[in-house]
């Protein structure tokens, strides 16, 4: 190994030439049929933020009167200007009518000028739509600390409004992409206990800088069901907890994260706080979207599920799961398909939980037992671990033997491509 600053000769195995194919997400395909949501219209076009004229970079979502809307934003202290403006507009109590989303520029780290830019974009939507400026929420994703090209956005707004249509969910999903290789979207239609149906459709983006609270991701989910505000807020909290707040690619929390859940009420079907069928469907939609981010993670070749059972608390279970998921040594072993499970063991042991008893820990890789009651399983053979590591979808299961709480986290491996993509992100 050469020290930093030493000259290293290139050879045929140079890592920059050994990267996987970024155009092949792990088990992720183009979205299927996306169902329209009564009360939602969408438009997407190229306004010039991105250099390629064939790539959409501006999206508008129009929301009908009477809809309820619930939101979650990043916890990053350097939150982007659109996050600040969106929070302020929500506090005004004015009903939200439009969501304006641009990709290719995060409008983060831009100070007062970024704030004014976000406001100006909202004002232009409000002027053309005959609405209050507070009824417009801005969202941005892309490069941090670059000035938002306001003129390009405002010039495109009349065309955006003209193109609004309830069937343009896929266009919108494509318009919010950054390093994503595929649009991420899903629809689900469920039959309620009274035999009536309601529909849920959602889109998301995200590929890197992914970590709970939330991540460099945007998500917009809508339903035609009627859901009162307190119930909608609670359902969003529950759905977020076991989806977008249970994924990680690299442990980085972004400046621009946002998730919006809209209930238009246009179906006339009212959802109560006890409607488990609806909540289960909503969680399925959220988990599909969040797992799509992991399957399309920057440089990913593996989709990894980490389940921690029998913990004293869910907090303890999540701590163990995320310690494994964030370990560079574990993630590089996953990329190499190397059954070096000592790295997983070490991650469990350093998890910050006071009650860990290594004598009660079981560890599985897929169906193969690696560790039983803190000791290597007598039936384990290297070829069994290798067979599990050779899969694209890998499951790591940990049983702490201490209680009844469980948590599941989804992550990816760490490949040459991840470094290459992020090293060249602005080039």
What's the average model confidence in pLDDT over 105-114? Answer: 94
What's the average model confidence in pLDDT over 165-176? Answer: 98
pLDDT of residue 23: 57
Q: Which residues are catalytic?
A: 216
pLDDT at 70 over 50: yes
**What are the pLDDT digits (tens) for 388-413?**
999 999 999 999 999 999 999 999 99
DSSP per residue, 85-118: HHHHHHHTTPPP-EEEEEEEE---S-HHHHHHHH
pLDDT at 214 over 50: no
**What are the pLDDT digits (tens) for 365-377?**
999 999 999 999 9
Virtual CA dihedral for 243, 247, 253, 256, nearest 10 degrees? -40
SS3 string, 370-389, reads EEECCEECCCCCHHHHHHHH
pLDDT of residue 208: 56
Q: Can you give the residue ranges of every domain in the chain? A: 40-295, 303-423
Q: Please compute, for residue 325, the number of CA atoms within 13 A of its CA located in the half-sphere on the CB side.
A: 31
pLDDT of residue 271: 96
Strands 58-63 vs 40-45: parallel, antiparallel or unpaired? antiparallel
pLDDT at 272 over 50: yes
pLDDT of residue 369: 98
What's the average model confidence in pLDDT over 220-237? Answer: 97
Range of weakest confidence among 12-21, 256-265, 350-359: 12-21
| Topology of the domain covering 303-423 | Ubiquitin-like (UB roll) (3.10.20)
CATH class of the region 40-295:
alpha beta
Q: In the chain, what percentage of residues exceed pLDDT 70?
A: 91
Burial of 20 (0-12, 13-18, 19+ CB in 10 A): middle
Range of weakest confidence among 9-18, 149-158, 226-235, 287-296: 9-18
> Quick one: pLDDT band at residue 215, thresholds 50, 70, 90?
very low
Question: How far apart are alpha carbons 207 and 184 in whole angstroms?
Answer: 11
The whole-angstrom distance between residue 419's C-alpha and the CA centroid of its chain comes to: 20
Range of weakest confidence among 184-188, 254-258, 293-297, 334-338: 254-258
Listed residue (27, 93, 75) closest to 240, CA to CA: 75
Q: List C-alpha distances in Å: 108 to 57, 179, 191, 257, 336.
A: 17, 17, 42, 11, 36
Question: How far apart are alpha carbons 354 and 311 in whole angstroms?
Answer: 12
pLDDT of residue 424: 75
pLDDT of residue 77: 78
- Contacts (Cβ under 8 Å, ≥6 apart) of 39: 63, 64, 66, 67, 222, 224, 264, 265, 266
pLDDT of residue 421: 78
- Quick one: DSSP state of residue 360? G
Look-up of token digits 């803190």: 374
> Quick one: pLDDT band at residue 31, thresholds 50, 70, 90?
very high
Q: List C-alpha distances in Å: 271 to 193, 240, 285.
A: 11, 18, 17
What's the average model confidence in pLDDT over 187-196? Answer: 92
């Amino acid at each position: 190994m050469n020290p930093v600053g030493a000259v290293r000769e290139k050879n045929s195995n140079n890592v920059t030439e050994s990267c996987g194919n970024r155009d092949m997400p792990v088990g992720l395909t183009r979205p299927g049929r996306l169902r329209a949501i009564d009360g939602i219209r969408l438009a997407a076009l190229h306004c010039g933020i991105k250099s390629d004229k064939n790539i959409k970079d501006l999206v508008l979502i129009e929301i009908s009167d009477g809809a309820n809307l619930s939101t979650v934003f990043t916890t990053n202290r350097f939150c982007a200007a659109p996050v600040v403006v969106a929070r302020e507009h929500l506090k005004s109590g004015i009903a939200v009518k439009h969501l304006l989303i641009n990709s290719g520029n995060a409008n983060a780290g831009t100070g007062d000028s970024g704030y004014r830019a976000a406001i100006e974009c909202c004002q232009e939507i409000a002027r053309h739509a005959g609405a209050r400026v507070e009824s417009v929420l801005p969202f941005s994703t892309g490069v941090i600390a670059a000035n938002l090209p306001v003129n390009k956005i405002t010039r495109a707004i009349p065309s955006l409004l003209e193109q609004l249509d309830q069937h343009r969910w896929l266009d919108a999903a494509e318009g919010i992409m950054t390093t994503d290789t595929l649009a991420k979207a899903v629809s689900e239609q469920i039959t309620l206990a009274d035999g009536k149906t309601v529909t849920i459709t959602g889109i998301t983006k995200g590929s890197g800088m992914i970590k709970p609270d939330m991540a460099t991701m945007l998500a917009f989910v809508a339903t035609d069901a009627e859901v009162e505000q307190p119930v909608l807020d609670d359902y969003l909290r529950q759905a977020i907890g076991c989806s977008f707040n249970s994924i990680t690619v690299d442990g980085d929390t972004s400046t621009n994260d946002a998730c919006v859940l809209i209930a238009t009420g246009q179906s006339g079907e009212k959802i109560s706080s006890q409607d488990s069928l609806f909540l289960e469907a909503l969680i399925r939609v959220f988990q599909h979207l969040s797992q799509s981010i992991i399957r399309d993670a920057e440089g990913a070749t593996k989709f990894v599920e980490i389940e921690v059972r029998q913990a004293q608390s869910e907090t303890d279970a999540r701590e163990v799961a995320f310690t494994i998921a964030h370990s560079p040594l574990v993630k590089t072993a996953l990329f190499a398909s190397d059954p070096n499970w000592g790295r997983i063991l070490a991650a469990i042991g350093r998890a910050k939980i006071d009650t860990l008893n290594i004598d009660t820990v079981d560890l599985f890789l897929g169906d193969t037992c690696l560790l039983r009651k803190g000791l290597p399983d007598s039936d384990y053979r290297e070829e069994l671990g290798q067979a599990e590591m050779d899969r694209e979808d890998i499951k790591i299961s940990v049983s702490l033997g201490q209680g009844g709480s469980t948590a599941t986290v989804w992550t990816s491996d760490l490949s040459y491509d991840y470094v290459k993509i992020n090293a060249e992100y602005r080039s």
